[in-house]
Chains A and B, each alone.
Chain A
Amino acid sequence: MISCEEDSVDVEQQEVTQKAIFETSQLNKSDIVNRIDLQDALSKAKEQLIPSVQLKSAVYDSLNNIWIDEDHISYVSSGDYESYTFGILDSDTTKLKNLLFSKEVDSTYTSYIITYDLNYILEDYIIAGTIPDHLTSYVTYREITTDFQLRDCVGEWRSTTYITIVCPGDAGSGFGSGTGIPVEEDPDAGSESVGGGSNNGTNPPPSNETGNSNSGIDNGSNQPCLSFNNGDCRIVTNPVLPISLNEVSDNTQSLFDSFNDPSSGNYNPDVYEFIQSFEQNELRNDINNYIRSERNSLEAQGFAVEATIACEKGAEVDFENKSIYDETVPECLKDIINDFKPSQNGYTLDFTNLDQSLLNALNLPGDILSLFDNEEGYAVKINVEPNLVNDNPINAQTGRATSGKMSIITFNADYLNRATDLAIARTAIHELVHAYLQYVIQHVPNRELGESLDALILQSNLGVLNGDPQHVLMAEQFVNSMALSLANSDGFQHPPIEYQRLAWSGAMFASDAFAQLDPLEQPNIISRNFVEEGESRPNVEFPLLGTKTCL
């Protein structure tokens, strides 16, 4: 062990001209699985700290009421040296505690509990790496040894050997010699900016410690600091700050609590544990803001529930457009569908050439299909499944969630892997129209469109309709708009007839509207679809128009 006390002068002198070369990174549990020596040290430390209980992602000691957070680990390395710092959560909010593993020359790890006294040291100082020199004595550490007993040490922290070398943030400057840590020349380093050393602050260390803090660097400048105290400079740690659960409104919290209420229809303990984790603070905020913006409507609560459940499974939620991408959705599909979201400022479903009466019925703001910004909180969820088949192969299908407040569009993975972006965009439009019609049936059945659907459903029930009502409506009313939307999203790269051909798909072929088309054009429509959907190789008559981006 090298004493900084003895070498303090040398260290200071070298700090003027040298910088240690540190690399820092943030790790999680999976990153350290294969680091055997560290795992051994971690196990031993747990044995000392925590006798028995282990939970899912953190280790909990009910006796001492602390948690070791293994999902947020700060890693520091410099040459052969490295250290791992784990966050510790406990009920004492006046202290920030970290569990540090510092690598020794023999490649073993020595473990320490490091404590920052938040009565004296602001978290901002720790975040910015600007712990004032005169406060470094409020940073203490204690080595975890075989006779270590945390409970016995309460109140004795400050009596243990001071101190800690703190290398915060991006680390970097002022590591002294004799540490085994490589240094590099820093011609710009000025003596004033790295001065300091004596503990001459206004707040002396509490208790009876001598506070011999030969602190390294004055952080009045923007230089990241190394704080030396008590002469032991072989430990380097990048602090892990406590992450607390963001507070949300009572309404939002009530919704979260419903996941933990066995009498609630939302009861799902896994989802509750998920949303009550500080790791979901951003999602908690998003949901909170969304519910507030929707004035805590039942529809908003419904979407928030769906969104939370989906996120627990790894989904991505777009609250602004009331849509959810399941974790199975590839980026290429997201890119295509995003084009049709109003908030993306991209191409939207263009229904401008519909009759005015129908436009009114659709309640379309300009040329936007209002699926993504309807007032009733109706949502759409996208997912992908392999080998989606029924009696016939299925490119995609649209169903309704059991809640009735969300459509679920499922794409066939095989289709995504063989179709062009143009075909997939067409399918997206087709399914979004289905979703919109489901929304109409659910929420605005008495408008013109809803009544049109009702009439078709009646005809279908009477057996006097070729095809099913939604596809008939698409074929009769929407096909031109769908073609125009597709052309918009594709930048009108191809003749309009090609977008018209692609606008026909699925059971639209069974409609009377298709039957009425020119018989010489009908097979061209099928052929164009065949090529773009990847079922047939392109040929002279039908060359490929789109690009296969989801392969």
Chain B
Amino acid sequence: MMKYIFILILLANLNSCQSQETSAYEDRVYQFLNEVYKPKKSSNTSKVGYIDNMNNLDNSIENISDDLLKTVLSRAKQYYRFHIPDSVLNYKNWKELKVHTLTKKFDQNKIVIPNLQFIDSKEDHDGIIMFHIEGILFYGNFAFIATNHGGTIPIGTLFKKEGEKYDFVTMTSYPPLGDE
């Protein structure tokens, strides 16, 4: 009997060290984050990005404003040298995507890079500045992430996936910064 109890406790502990069960969308999110925030070889900084661990990606469609999405896509069309399909540039198509999550908190165990940490925003983290992920969407080979820095500034970034790698396309805010 004691042997079974020990095995159950061991299994429970093992389970706590393992990653949570996640949806296919969430798996793609983690793969995206690991790739996008991977330290640049040319970078000599050891900056760590702290992200609010509350996972609200279920609400990505609602959290990403039409204006922000339209602005980012408009800039991509204006400046990006590679062709972007019209369907990708149509923000309405992004708004019809389905996102599904199984977890309410981001799982640090699924992050394999050293410079990204999820922290609990409800706890006191003296001196640590974190940002919030408001939403992540995938459309074809393109990915869109909206982040908020300082609570008032939604910033959207568009990436294009080439193999396993995500190439930066453009980044802007809404309202956008003025042209110069």
Query: A520: which of B37, B167, B168 is its contact (CB, 8 Å)?
Result: B37
Contacts of B37 in A (CB 8 A): 519-520
Query: B155: which of A514, A523, A535 is its contact (CB, 8 Å)?
Result: A523
Contacts of B131 in A (CB 8 A): 523
Contacts of A392 in B (CB 8 A): 176, 178-179
Min distance, Cβ A523 to any Cβ of chain B, angstroms: 5
Contact of B180 with A463 in the complex, beta carbons under 8 Å = no
Query: B170: which of A427, A430, A509, A521 is its contact (CB, 8 Å)?
Result: A509
Contact of A526 with B171 in the complex, beta carbons under 8 Å = yes
Contact of A533 with B79 in the complex, beta carbons under 8 Å = no
Contact of B153 with A536 in the complex, beta carbons under 8 Å = yes
Query: A541: which of B40, B43, B150, B175 is its contact (CB, 8 Å)?
Result: B150
Contact of B81 with A464 in the complex, beta carbons under 8 Å = yes
Closest residue to A505 on the B side, CB-wise?
B180
Contact of B150 with A516 in the complex, beta carbons under 8 Å = no
- Tally chain A residues at the interface, Cβ within 8 Å: 47
Query: B176: which of A393, A467, A520, A537 is its contact (CB, 8 Å)?
Result: A393
Contact of A536 with B40 in the complex, beta carbons under 8 Å = no
Contacts of B168 in A (CB 8 A): 515, 519
Which of A231-239, A286-294, A326-334, A394-402 participates in binding chain B? A394-402
Known: A518-B40, A519-B37. A529 touches B177 (CB 8 A): yes
> In the docked arrangement, what's the CA distance between A507 and B74, Å?
13
Closest residue to A392 on the B side, CB-wise?
B179
> In the docked arrangement, what's the CA distance between A537 and B170, Å?
24
> In the docked arrangement, what's the CA distance between A112 and B7, Å?
122
- In the complex, whether B115 has a CB less than 8 A from a CB of chain A is yes
For window 459-517 of chain A, which residues contact chain B by CB distance below 8 Å?
463-468, 505-507, 509-510, 514-517
Contacts of A466 in B (CB 8 A): 79-81
Contacts of B9 in A (CB 8 A): none
Contacts of B175 in A (CB 8 A): 393, 535
Contact of A463 with B81 in the complex, beta carbons under 8 Å = yes
Closest residue to B168 on the A side, CB-wise?
A515
| Chain B residues packing against A (C-beta within 8 Å) | 36-37, 39-40, 42-43, 45, 47-49, 74-75, 78-81, 115, 129, 131, 147, 149-153, 155, 157, 167-168, 170-173, 175-180
Given A527-B155, A536-B152, A542-B150, 12 more A-B residue pairs with CB atoms under 8 Å apart are: A391-B78, A393-B176, A394-B179, A415-B178, A467-B79, A507-B79, A518-B40, A520-B48, A526-B173, A527-B153, A530-B177, A533-B178
| Chain A residues packing against B (C-beta within 8 Å) | 390-397, 412, 415, 427, 430-431, 463-468, 505-507, 509-510, 514-524, 526-527, 529-530, 533, 535-537, 539-542
